[in-house]
Structure formats: structure tokens, C-alpha cells
Amino acid sequence: MQIAVNIAVLASIYALICCGYVLIYRATRVLSLAHGELMMLGAYGLYATASLFKGHPLIALAAAAGLALAVGLAVYAALMWRMTGESVLAAVLATIALGILLRGAMMLAFGTLTQHPLRDLGWENASIGLPGGARISAVGAALILSTGLVYGGLFAFLRGTRWGMRMRAAGQNPLLAAQRGIGLHGIYALSWGLATFTGGLAGMLIALDAGLESTLVIIGLKAFPAALVGGLDSLVGALAGSLVVASAEVLLIQYVDPLLSDVVPFFVLLAMLVVRPWGLFGTREELDRV
């Protein structure tokens, strides 16, 4: 039972991170390897707002989320729009370079000590008992809840709203989308904004749970196999992939070797690439286009 809870928490962490990879890839065909750093930036945003709005934790959270959205838009406006039309390698390398730059800048700005935003917000990470004898931390529950909300919101946005449809249209056929009057830069900036927003949210919640340190970046990197396993262009796939990777990771750590934690996602990824490179729910033709 406890294992099921652990899987659920880990899967929702991965899923919350993954949707950033998927959103950016779907719209712009770029795999953002700066996602881990952007997550961390989101978490530091919370750290900053937590001390700014002392005693108003909810305001601090909202401000930090808004900040993350703005950072995503800024990243596109400052760097990534220049990469449209460049080769896949150049664009991916630009995200890697951005990640390095951000990591260095964050070390300069915030130091390398582990921070505890939860304490700054004045909250306790209570442990909640569940039927069946399992326990879940309050932040863990919040993680599952917000993953559900984010995915629900994204599905509603992409399926139900006009901007969501335009986003899907632009991802599928940018030329035709431009002909239909859709401004591609706007769509791309929006997807970067949303991706950084969700990633930042994930970063904040993880930081609330486990403290804020540089291992956050590794979690971000470990989540992207989940996105690939599910299929890089599918949100449903991201959910499924996160579940697969999280289950494999929790079970193997439990029954085989705790040291495996860092590589399990990559083993799953390789297995998937051999069997079904486009992922569980991905589109098959994508492979030829990249």
C-alpha cells in the first residue's frame, strides 16, 4: 500500500515536470534540456517571494507561479525565438547552454546552501494517514492534487479553447497555421510560458517537500525519459510514461538496489527506444520529421 502511494507521488512529480517537455516539444519541436534549471529557478522564485510576503504563504505561492510564467515568456523572447528554423541540434544545445548559464547565475545569486522554503512560508509538512495503513506527506498530497489540476486545466485549454486549438494547429503544421492567421511567435512564447509555469510549480512543490538544492536539476533530467516513454507529443502519454517510469523506479529500489534510482528511468527509456521509439502514445511519423 505504501508502495502504491510512493509510486503515485513520484509519478505525479514526473508528470508535472513532463508536461513542460511535451508542451515545448509539441509546439516548437525542441527538447528543452534547460527544464531542470527552469524548475529550480521557479523554486528559488518561491524562496524569494516567501521572504518578501512573510506571513502570506498563498500570496507568495501565487506570485512565484506568476514569476515562473514570466520567466518562460522571457526565455522565448530573449533566446529561443532566434532558434526557430535552426537545426534540432543547435536548438537543443541552446537550451543546454541556457541551463548552464542559469545554473551558474543561480549559484551566484542564491549560493549553494540547501534552502527550506517550507519553513520560510511558516508551514508544517504534516504526515497524513490513509486507509490501509499508508502515509502520505501533506506536500505529497498537494503534488498529486496539483498534477491533477494542471493536467485537467491543460486538457481543457488544448481541447476547449480557441488558443489551445491554435497551439495544437501550430504544432502540427506551422506553415498552414501561419496562413490561417496564427502568429507563431505568440504560440511558441505561450508554450514556453506554460511549460516553465508547470515546471516551476513542480520545482516549488519538490522544494517544499525535500528542500531546495542542486539535485532538483537531476530530478528534472530524470523526468524526461518519462516524457519520451509516453511519446513526446502527447500529454496522455506523459501521464502514462510517468506512471511506468515511477513504478519501475520505486519497485526496483524497493526490491533490488537503492543505488539504481538515478539510472532506472534511462533503462526504461532505452528499452522503449528499442521497441517503440515514438513512445506509447506518440505519433509515429514524428520520427522522420526530426
Cβ atoms 229, 279 nearer than 8 A: yes
Residue 275 to residues 23, 229, 269, 272, 279, Cα–Cα distance (Å) = 24, 11, 10, 5, 9
Cα of first residue to Cα of last residue in the chain, in angstroms, is 42
- State in angstroms the smallest separation of the CB of 133 from another protein: 33
Q: What are phi and psi of 174, to 5 degrees?
A: -60, -35
Question: Using the rule CB under 8 A, is 168 a contact of another protein?
Answer: yes
- State in angstroms the smallest separation of the CB of 225 from another protein: 7
- State in angstroms the smallest separation of the CB of 169 from another protein: 4
Q: To the nearest 10°, the Cα dihedral for 148, 46, 161, 227?
A: -60
Query: Distance between CA atoms of 51 and 62, rounded to whole angstroms?
Result: 14
The interface region with another protein, picked from 63-71, 135-143, 146-154, 172-180 by CB under 8 A, is: 172-180
Strands 135-137 and 127-129: antiparallel
Residue type at position 38: L
Pick 210 or 263: Cβ nearer another protein: 263
Question: Using the rule CB under 8 A, is 258 a contact of another protein?
Answer: no
Judged by CB under 8 A, the residue of 59, 149, 183, 256 near another protein is 183
Question: Which secondary structure element, helix H or strand E, spans residue 136, and what is its range?
Answer: strand 135-137
Question: Using the rule CB under 8 A, is 219 a contact of another protein?
Answer: no
Q: CB within 8 A of 69, min separation 6: which ones?
A: 193, 194, 196, 197, 200
Judged by CB under 8 A, the residue of 221, 238, 246, 250 near another protein is 221
Judged by CB under 8 A, the residue of 51, 114, 127, 172 near another protein is 172
The interface region with another protein, picked from 144-152, 200-208, 243-251, 258-266 by CB under 8 A, is: 258-266
Q: How many residues bind another protein (CB under 8 A)?
A: 61
Pick 192 or 224: Cβ nearer another protein: 224
Judged by CB under 8 A, the residue of 173, 254, 256, 284 near another protein is 173
Question: Using the rule CB under 8 A, is 152 a contact of another protein?
Answer: no
Cβ atoms 250, 3 nearer than 8 A: yes
- State in angstroms the smallest separation of the CB of 88 from another protein: 5
Cβ atoms 15, 226 nearer than 8 A: yes
Question: Using the rule CB under 8 A, is 122 a contact of another protein?
Answer: no
Q: CB within 8 A of 211, min separation 6: which ones?
A: 114, 115, 116
- Catalog residues that contact another protein under the rule CB under 8 A: 31, 79, 82-83, 86, 88-90, 92-94, 96-105, 107-108, 111-112, 162, 165-166, 168-169, 172-173, 175-184, 221, 224-225, 228, 259-260, 262-263, 266-267, 269-270, 273-274, 277, 283, 287-288, 290
